Amino acid sequence: MAKKIQDNNVLYTILRPFVDFCCRHSYRRFEIHGQKQLPKDGALIYGINHSNTLMDALVVLATSHHKKVFMARGDIFANPTVAKLLRFTRILPLYRIRNGIAAVRNNTESMEQAVDVVHDKVGLYLFPEGRHRTKHSLLQLSKGIFHIALDSNKEFGKEKPVYLVPVGIEYGDYFRYRSTCMVNFGEAINVTDFIKNSTEENDAVLMNQLREMLSDRLSHLITYIPDDEDYDAIWEIVKMKNEKRAGGLYKKMLRNRATVEKILQYREQHPEEAKELFNKVLEFSKHRVEQKISVTSTAKRKPLANSVWKLLTALVGLPYFLASSVANAIAWIPMVILKSKLKDKAWGNTVSFVSKFLLSSLVFIGGTIALFCTLPWYWALGGTVLLFFSYDFWFDYQELVRRLVSDIRWTFKTKLRQEYRSLGLNKLF
């Protein structure tokens, strides 16, 4: 009998904990919400928003130790070696019309395997938007996930219920490594009950109804902004309003959503004033970026006072940063070169993750051996601890300095601060 993709694999089992560890430590803060409410009595198919390339799959993988199988677009399976690697990592291909009629015929086998995965009560994870996009919005969901849900229900719906589970991923920044990440599991759609209670027999109509339900539930799990001409201005306002407030990532997402709702109400009630405000916000954003000022600085009433502790921390941490730079040169130099050549900058965090997983690990292993071979055990142990945190610290220190310089610039940009105050965001929202 052919080996199933969800069957146990010794090498995969060995590597999986380390992959999860590296993924979680790719973020300063990593939060998971809603997982306890997942159904325990059926087959689960997860639909996830897709905004940050391979990191989306990795952060979902790291949410639990449970076995997971993913589906990805079929064109990345064209190379036989890559296809074997993807199957090893438990990823099935899902072909679309754009891949050609011949490729779409291969979907029959993939769909059968997908149904078998969920039948075995192994989570099946898909990104129904079809492609990643660094926006707090959603593309129209493709039908593949709903085909699988209906096929699964026909195959074993009388045996156990089939569920569609919405999963929202919210990043603090799509492009900066060691930002923040929240994975938010939403209320599951009981596909079996939905079909049982529906008078509709046409699969195409059922899939469209399920698509509307899943899209709506996904939009409530993230900071959702309508993807229209005002998106950039609305997101800029949200960042300026909520960037520095205290609380966890989930509370921040709720604040973001509340601010978006207020902005949309204002736009509906005062369309002309809103249009004028959005133009001013975009102009301010342009000036802010040109003068290399972080949006976090604009949220501070006394940025210079706030920068004192950053300066002291930077001075104390400078020797460790320099040592980390030297120790991890074999990891960060190739990473910086590769990231500079990326056409799609959203892949930057994935490159940083791979550097941590492969190159930084070699640095740690080799450095630890060298320390214990050349120093007394207590000094070697201390050096090993410092080496363990050095890769992450290298990024965090640069972020600290970036924000420190931004705070100082913001303090002395009187004209820009007046432009910010003239927006009157605190009074409006």
Total domains in the chain come to 3
Helical (H) or strand (E) element with 295 = helix 295-298
Q: Are residues 156 and 248 in the same domain?
A: no
Mean pLDDT of the region 102-110: 72
Looking at residue 104, its pLDDT comes to 63
- Determine contact, residues 51/132, Cβ cutoff 8 Å: yes
Last residue of a domain, one of 219, 240, 259: 219
Q: Are residues 314 and 340 in the same domain?
A: yes
What's the rounded Cα separation, in Å, for the pair 85 and 270?
A: 54
What are the residues facing 126 on neighbouring strands? Answer: 47
Alpha helices in 328-360 (DSSP H): 329-340, 348-354
pLDDT averaged over the chain?
A: 93
Condensed to tens digits (0 to 9), the pLDDT of residues 326-366 reads 999 999 999 999 999 999 999 999 999 999 999 999 999 99
- Asked if pLDDT for residue 231 goes beyond 70, the answer is yes
On whether residue 273 sits in a domain, the answer given is yes
**Closest Cα partner for 118 from 39, 17, 32?**
39
Least confident of 105-114, 131-140, 355-364: 105-114
Where residue 100 falls among pLDDT bands split at 50, 70, 90? low
Per-residue tokens: 73: 């677009």
What's the rounded Cα separation, in Å, for the pair 273 and 347?
A: 38
- Taking CA atoms, 113 is separated from 7, 61, 166, in Å, by 12, 19, 21
Cβ count within 10 A of residue 150: 19
**Closest Cα partner for 298 from 399, 403, 427?**
403
Q: Would you say the pTM of this structure is higher than 0.85? A: yes
Q: Are residues 129 and 105 in the same domain?
A: yes
Looking at residue 94, its pLDDT comes to 87
Last residue of a domain, one of 193, 219, 245: 219
On whether residue 76 sits in a domain, the answer given is yes
- Asked if pLDDT for residue 75 goes beyond 90, the answer is no
Q: Are residues 248 and 165 in the same domain?
A: no
Q: Are residues 29 and 53 in the same domain?
A: yes
What's the rounded Cα separation, in Å, for the pair 107 and 395?
A: 42
Residue positions counted in the chain? 429
* DSSP three-state, residue 243: coil
Mean pLDDT of the region 386-393: 97
**Closest Cα partner for 190 from 215, 165, 156, 207?**
165
- Taking CA atoms, 105 is separated from 94, 131, 152, in Å, by 10, 21, 19
Looking at residue 19, its pLDDT comes to 96
Least confident of 62-66, 94-98, 224-228: 94-98
Q: Which domain holds residue 20?
A: 10-219
Mean pLDDT of the region 72-87: 87
On whether residue 226 sits in a domain, the answer given is no
The half-sphere exposure of 216 on its side-chain side, counting CA atoms within 13 A, is 9
On whether residue 419 sits in a domain, the answer given is no
Q: Are residues 149 and 214 in the same domain?
A: yes
Mean pLDDT of the region 45-63: 96
- Asked if pLDDT for residue 155 goes beyond 80, the answer is yes
On whether residue 421 sits in a domain, the answer given is no
Q: Are residues 197 and 62 in the same domain?
A: yes
Condensed to tens digits (0 to 9), the pLDDT of residues 263-303 reads 999 999 999 999 999 999 999 999 999 999 999 899 887 78
On whether residue 5 sits in a domain, the answer given is no
- Asked if pLDDT for residue 5 goes beyond 60, the answer is yes
Looking at residue 99, its pLDDT comes to 60
Looking at residue 97, its pLDDT comes to 60
Please state the φ and ψ torsions of residue 270, each to the nearest 5 degrees.
-135, 70
Phi-psi map region of 90: left, alpha, beta (phi>0 left; psi -120 to 50 alpha): left
Helical (H) or strand (E) element with 145 = helix 144-156
- Determine contact, residues 168/17, Cβ cutoff 8 Å: no
**Closest Cα partner for 186 from 165, 162, 216, 161?**
165
Looking at residue 107, its pLDDT comes to 77
The CA-CA-CA angle for residues 384, 387, 390, to 5°, reads 155
Looking at residue 121, its pLDDT comes to 93
Sign of the four-CA dihedral 370, 376, 379, 382: positive
Looking at residue 199, its pLDDT comes to 87
- Asked if pLDDT for residue 105 goes beyond 70, the answer is no
Q: Are residues 275 and 381 in the same domain?
A: no
CATH number at residue 89: 3.40.1130.10
Mean pLDDT of the region 309-338: 96
Mean pLDDT of the region 104-133: 89
Q: Are residues 112 and 61 in the same domain?
A: yes
Looking at residue 101, its pLDDT comes to 60
On whether residue 33 sits in a domain, the answer given is yes
Last residue of a domain, one of 291, 312, 331: 291
Q: Are residues 257 and 339 in the same domain?
A: no
Looking at residue 109, its pLDDT comes to 84
What's the rounded Cα separation, in Å, for the pair 56 and 48?
A: 8
Q: Are residues 211 and 65 in the same domain?
A: yes
Percent of the chain, pLDDT > 70?
Answer: 97
Buried b / exposed e over 400-424, threshold 16 CB at 10 Å, is bbebbbbbbbbbebeebbeebeebe
On whether residue 400 sits in a domain, the answer given is yes
Give the relative orientation of helices 361-374 and 329-340 as an angle to the nearest 10 degrees.
160
Per-residue tokens: 210: 């399920």
Looking at residue 103, its pLDDT comes to 62
Helical (H) or strand (E) element with 24 = helix 10-24
Q: In the chain, how many H helices and how many E strands?
A: 19, 8
Q: Are residues 26 and 115 in the same domain?
A: yes
Which amino acid makes up residue 112? E
